[in-house]
Each structure stands twice: as structure tokens, then as C-alpha cells.
Structure 1
């Protein structure tokens, strides 16, 4: 009986040493979770028969977050797992070291693909963007403050001259607009105070042929006593109230570079007249030059933004995250991956930073949660346990030998 009891202790201590050795060997593995060996006693008819390994429990405590500066390295600040598709099976990981394949998939080192919340692999499909002309009723938006203390300029509307500063009150380069070939044109906006609370606005771009600038027709803006655009004014005198859009058109012949007609409205809503300096507060437009893919950014909520050389960006998709009611029930598959089991429960899918799922940190990885100091202490204890059981076996052997030698 003593042999069997001590042998069970040797086997249990050996299993514990295996677990400790595995923890230590993975102390530098990103996203690794340490394990602990648990024991249970064996009894039959109130007779102790030794010990056995009852379970090996995984510790899903968070490891420290370490900055790498690489934008495809991701760490989860809190609970949750990345969801990967591998061999038509879903697997889960805390290791967010990603690369991008030649065809635009986000993969780990073993080729498993990061998925969205529907379990579909995330992929960048557009590695270039075509040129887009600035166009439409909301082709551009601009908001200014116009100086209420500016002097009124008394001139005929036809006497406006962009080369003569005496014919307008204020001019600024608002931004760049684009034709159908993606050629950028610097657009200037001119404002002329024509009466109390009344201004004339014009838009202009340089003439591609080198002649006089291409200038829009004027648009009258009327402000109320609070310095806001008057929603009840009829600036064009045609019964249409609340007009705040400035139309700009340059036909193909005027552009002279083979592009189509450039035509869009500039929405001036939000422009004010106050006793402050002239100031451009906002400018945006919907055109762009052609561009090529230059990289991605990943937000803390898991949104993947593809960036292009023309300054544009577009959302590719959102990283699908998962959590489990009992993470300790997950089955480790190696390569920093786990799969769900009945014990873990089904994956609870969600978005990073919501519910019980932590937010993402780009340029960061989660280090192994192995505590080397504790593991070394546990190894000494397990070694002593192994030696004690081995000594018990040796003692049993010595007693049997003594009994055998009795005469």
C-alpha cells in the first residue's frame, strides 16, 4: 500500500513540475496564460490511497501591457478575446500580434485570420482610390467670421476685381477643390461688405491656362442683429429665403486640362458677423486626388481605418471580440489559441470597449501573465514534494529488504 501511495505522490509532483516548466518556458510568450496543477486525495473504505491530479486550471488574469510602436500590434485592456478563423473553425486569443497578407487579410503568425462580429475574415479590398471631383449641392462647406466693424465698400457688383484689394473687404485661401482628374485647385473666397449686415461672397480658383482667375457669380449674405445669417432674408430678391450657398462653376474649356466641368455649391451656413477679426473656422469638401493604400489605424473600439496617400481614410470593418462566462473552460490548442467548449459556454460576441469587453490599445501587446518569482518558488516546493515521495518509496524498499533478510 505504501508504494502505491508514494508512487501517486511522485506522479502528481511530476505533473506539477510539467505545468511549472511550461509556465516558465512561456514567460515571454505574448498573451500566454499560466496554469496551476490542482490535487485531490484518493480514498476507498476510509483508507487513504494517495493523491491524483484533479485538474489543471488556467489563470486568465491580465498580463502587463507593453508598448511596441507597431500599429498592427494590439492589446486588450480588460477582458475579452480576439476571434480568429482557422481551418473553418473559430478560435480565440489574447495575442494581438497581426500582419497583413498580400490579399489584405489580418493574420496571426500561424495564418489564422482576424474576423468581424459576424465571424467573417476582415479584409482590405481597395488598395487604391480613384480621383473624385468636388461636386454637388454640398460639394464644399465653409464657415467664417466676418468683421462687423469692416467699412462698407460702395461699388457696382460688376466692378469686382480680384487683383484690386479696394474692391473687397477680405480674401483667404479656403482650401483645395478637385476636378474629375484629381487635379487640385486652390480656392479663394472673397467677401465684400456692401451695406449694414449685408455682404457679397465670391469664390475663385487660379486659371489653369495662366489667365485671369476663374470667379463665381456673387452671392449675397444677410445677417440679423445677433450676427447670425438671417433665415428670413431674401438675399437674391427672388422670393427664396434663407439661401446661404455660393455656386461655383468652371466649364471644361476654362479648365483646359481635359477634366470635366467643375461645378459645386459652397455651403456657407455657420458664417457669422461679429466684432472680431476675419477668421476661417471651417472648410471641407468631398473631392480627392487619386491615392494608394499606405497603412491602417485601429481605434480603441476596434474600428479598422484604411489610410490612403491622398489623405483620405475609410472604415474597413470592426474587429469582432468575444468573451466567455467561464474562460477557464476554454481548451488550449497551442499557438496562443483557445477553442470554446461546453464548460466555457458559447462565445459572447461584442465590440471592444462595450459591455464586459475591454478596449483595444494599438501599438501595444499583452505580456505573459507568468510570475517567474512565484513559479520558481512553486518549483522548489514541487521538487521537495517529489523528493519526499521518492524517499518514502526508498524507505518502503529498505523495510521490505530488511524483512526479506530475516532468518
Structure 2
């Protein structure tokens, strides 16, 4: 047995316990850090060769393991851009230099330029839906970029699609051809009229007058006019009808198989507009409209942001319209606990973590996005304090081993006196 070896073993033990106390200190300090993953110290023995009559003490070495795969509790907040992951995935973020990292720290807020950044300054990345539907998984990191929400510019959309559903009275009086709205004469007669709000290519509001006129038993004319072109008395409209169509009903009041089911026109100064008429009916009842809606929207700014569980970022405009802007991807690795830990609660691919794959929320084990919540640290304070007391005792015991070795060395040196 070597007294020096005994002393070195004691020093090895103290160093190992010091490492453990360091991880405990880190854990306690970050117990309130969003997305922080607990670090733990694992011990491994070092054994030296021994002979039958002599034992050589070895030592102990430590390995730090981060519990990245263990999810922390979700804490709900009042900010829709605070994001948490209910599952095993990671958000993809980038630093100021454009280097990509993974994180679970989702306390994102818009910066002065409109980028969503977390408390460490990392920008959230996503797929810009203006490029088209999000690609299939897995995707390449070069296909995504930092999410930037510009709430200073106006957005609008021209009317391109609509739906008009109404009941037409079966017993309505038949109007002669010369007096139909499509004739656009001052003597025009009609059965019923409704007006729809449409938007041109510049976001300007247009009013479309829709006339329903019975032309024969079971046959109706649908004529659409630009209200701004009407004369003081209504008809005639300057320029005439924007479009006309004929609806044919069977004995049950349903559209026949040969009847038109929609009407298409060009909004003045706007786009081609198709209005769905497939749900129209003819019954023994008064004229009544059950649905009359056109898409499109006037110029307006973003009023608020909404984020769905599938990672889709929506903008809600002041006019009430919604638009999908981005889709937030989700990353994963085969061994999350082997990721390389970097300051700012971000992770990089490690030698033993496996390759990073980037897909989408709700796919596989990626999990879903929870808006208005953050993931707390997975540190248990009670467990850390217990480990600290245990390490303190073990450190003291190892120091006693060293002290005993030093005392025995004094005895050995004093033998020559």
C-alpha cells in the first residue's frame, strides 16, 4: 500500500465532490431559468493494478450529464409569443451570426426589427408561408429563416371567392324578358335583391348588387351589377351587368344537374370573383338569405398574433381577417442528453447525440406547440439541497483520508529520529 497513493485517492475524491457541488450550484442558480436542463454528476471508479500482498488505491472520476430529455413543468403566461413544447422536440433558433442551435427556452418577444427573440437573444426560425405550403419532413436548415413579423405595413386582399345561399319563392311572378335586370332598362323588374361587399386590388370597397328574377317556372336569372354605376332611380346601370347566370330548379326545389352552380365576374379594378350558388333553393317560402359572404379585406395593420399547436403563426388584422404567415419547425435527435450544452440554454449537435432532423410539430415525438406558456427548469430544489449536503459530507470524509495519510507520513518520517 502506498501512503502517497492513499493521499492522491483522497484528493481525487475531494475533486469529484467539488465537481458535484459545482453542478448543484449551477442547478440551484438556474432553478428559475426558462428551459434550463438539470446537470448531474456521475461517478466512475479508477482501479490500479494490485498484488496479492499489496493493494494500490485508485481514485474516482466524474462525468457531467444533462437531463435534456426530461421535460420541465409548463407555466402559462399572458403573452401569445411565449412558447413551450409538449413533447420531445426543440425549437430551431439562430444567433446573430446565423449559426443554428436548438432550444427549449421559448420566452420569445418581438425585437425592434420584428424578429422573435428569446431572453438570450436567439431568433426563432420558421418557414415563410408566402413561399408556399411548408415542405415535407425532414427539411434542411437552409430552407428556414428567422421569423420576422412586420406590423407597420398595411395588408389587404382582393375578393376572389364567395358564397351566396338563399331561398327563392316558388310562387314569384314571372318577369318578361324585356323587363329583366340583364336588359338594363329603366323599366327593369326583379323578384329579390341583395348587396355584397367586395374589395378591389387596391383594397377599395365595392358594393355589388345581386338581382334574383324569375324568368319561367323553375328558372331564375342571377344578375350582378356595380352599385356605383347605378342611376338615381336604380336602372339602368352604366356599363350594364358585370355578369349574369341562369339557375334551373327541379320539382323538389333543388338545382338540376344541368343548372349553373356559380357565377363568375371581374370586380371593377379588382380580380376575378367566383360566387358559389350551389346551395340555392326554390321553396314555398319567402325570399331569405342564409349566407352571403365574399373574401377579401381592406387595408389594415396587424393587431395581434396567434400561434396554433401545429406551429402555424397567424396574423389577425384590425379588420378581423386572419392570415397564416409562418410555420414553426421542430427539431429532434436520437439522444438528446448527449447534445452539447451552450450558454443561453441552447444546444448543438454532439459527437454522440446523433444527427439533427427537422420536421414539424405533432409529427412523431416532436410534440405540439403550446402558445402562452413557457417550460420551467426541470430542477428540483429539494433534491439539489439533499445532494449538496451529501457532497459536503463526502468531501469532508475524503479530506479526512488525506489528513490521515499525511499523519501516517509524519509517523514514517519520525522513525529515523
SS in 2 for 1:365: strand
SS in 2 for 1:56: strand
Alignment partners' CA distance in 2, 1:31 and 1:8: 33
SS in 2 for 1:267: strand
CA separation of 1:228 and 1:129: change in aligned 2, threshold 3 A: farther
CA separation of 1:221 and 1:320: change in aligned 2, threshold 3 A: same
Alignment partners' CA distance in 2, 1:125 and 1:384: 54
Matched-pair contact (CA < 8 Å) for 1:171–1:191: yes
- Is there any run of 5+ residues in structure 1 with no aligned partner, and where? 162-166, 234-241, 251-259
Alignment partners' CA distance in 2, 1:37 and 1:314: 48
Alignment partners' CA distance in 2, 1:158 and 1:348: 69
Query: What is the CA-CA distance between 1:93 and the residue it aligns to?
Result: 0.8
Matched-pair contact (CA < 8 Å) for 1:140–1:265: yes
1:91 is the counterpart of 2:101: yes
Match of 1:78 in 2: 87
Match of 2:186 in 1: none
Matched-pair contact (CA < 8 Å) for 1:306–1:316: yes
Deviation readout 1:224-244 (Å, 9 max, x if unpaired):
3454422324xxxxxxxx363
Query: What is the CA-CA distance between 1:391 and the residue it aligns to?
Result: 2.8
SS in 1 for 2:79: coil
CA separation of 1:75 and 1:282: change in aligned 2, threshold 3 A: farther
SS in 1 for 2:353: coil
CA separation of 1:186 and 1:22: change in aligned 2, threshold 3 A: same
Residue among 246, 264, 267 paired with 2:275: 267
Per mean C-alpha deviation after superposition, the further-off stretch among 203-212 and 353-362 is 203-212
Number of equivalent positions: 379
SS in 1 for 2:20: helix
Residue among 156, 160, 163 paired with 2:176: 156
Match of 1:51 in 2: 59
TM-score (norm 2): 0.78
Two-structure CA RMSD over aligned residues (Å): 3.4
CA separation of 1:226 and 1:381: change in aligned 2, threshold 3 A: farther
1:128 is the counterpart of 2:137: no
Alignment partners' CA distance in 2, 1:249 and 1:324: 52
Deviation readout 1:110-158 (Å, 9 max, x if unpaired):
4333234543423447652465544xxxx342231415x6532233356
SS in 1 for 2:290: strand
Query: What is the CA-CA distance between 1:355 and the residue it aligns to?
Result: 2.3
TM-score (norm 1): 0.79
Match of 1:390 in 2: 399
- Is there any run of 5+ residues in structure 2 with no aligned partner, and where? 127-138, 182-188
